[in-house]
Homo-oligomer: A and B are copies of this chain.
Amino acid sequence: MNRTIKITIIEDDETIRNGYAYLIGATEGYEVVSSYSSYDEAAKKIITDRPDVVLLDIELPGTNGVDAIPKLKKLLPQCYVLILTVYESEKLIFNALANGASGYLTKNTPSAKIIESIKEVKDGGGPMSINIAKLVIRSFQKNQESPLSRRETQILELIGDGKSRSQIAKELFIDLETVRSHIKNIYVKLDVNSRADAIKMAKQNKLI
């Protein structure tokens, strides 16, 4: 049996908030149990609302949306947070997801898709707008034309894991001096002279 999905909206723009509330409330199987204009306002009462899904804006007065996510999850561990915002900044997206958001939609998303995403997130899915998905996928992609050889990349990865030369040597069944040699070559190719700088360069250029 499918219970009604209970939704709370946190969004500071009254027009948009009411728009969503109307839209979602009019759909069968969905119920807007409460709506607030800020997290701080919501914090006091949301526990008794017991929503299944919270639609959350990023740009909010007081506690911003990203910081609100872990607080919401603490108050309501079973509840899913779906971000609904105009912002497409990589930092914001990744922080929101790292903080426990289950989905990320931009506000140009058609209303039918929003409704669908609420259902999806409630079923344990991970809805994203296509432009967000693009950013997320790109974040996984490694640089295809790395200056480093296979072995060098492999060793750089182990350095990224915080391993010492001797640990790397053991793991790869090669001599300590060989590891040194590879690391020296990596440093030359990346134009750095320390592990920290090598890792930084590697991450910047998506070599690892």
Interface residues of A (CB under 8 A from B): 70, 73-74, 94, 97-103, 120, 124-128, 130-131, 133-138, 140-142, 144, 159-164, 167, 194-196, 198-200, 203
Which B residues are CB-close (under 8 A) to A94? 140
CA distance A142 to B203 in the complex (A): 19
CB of A133 within 8 A of CB of B144, answer: no
23 contacts between A and B (CB under 8 A): A70-B144, A74-B144, A94-B140, A97-B140, A98-B140, A98-B141, A99-B141, A100-B142, A100-B144, A103-B137, A120-B130, A125-B130, A125-B133, A126-B133, A126-B134, A126-B138, A127-B133, A128-B137, A136-B140, A162-B194, A162-B195, A162-B200, A167-B196
Chain A interface, >50% SS class: helix
A161 touches B196 (CB 8 A): yes
Copies in the complex: 2
Are B196 and A141 neighbours in the complex by a CB distance under 8 Å? no
A150 to chain B, nearest CB (A): 12
| A195 proximity list for chain B (CB < 8 A) | 162
A124 / chain B contacts, CB cutoff of 8 Å: 134
In the complex, which residue of chain B has the Cβ closest to the Cβ of A73? B144
Kindly list chain B residues whose C-beta atoms are within 8 Å of the C-beta of A138. Answer: 126
Taking CB atoms, residues of chain B closer than 8 Å to A194 are: 162
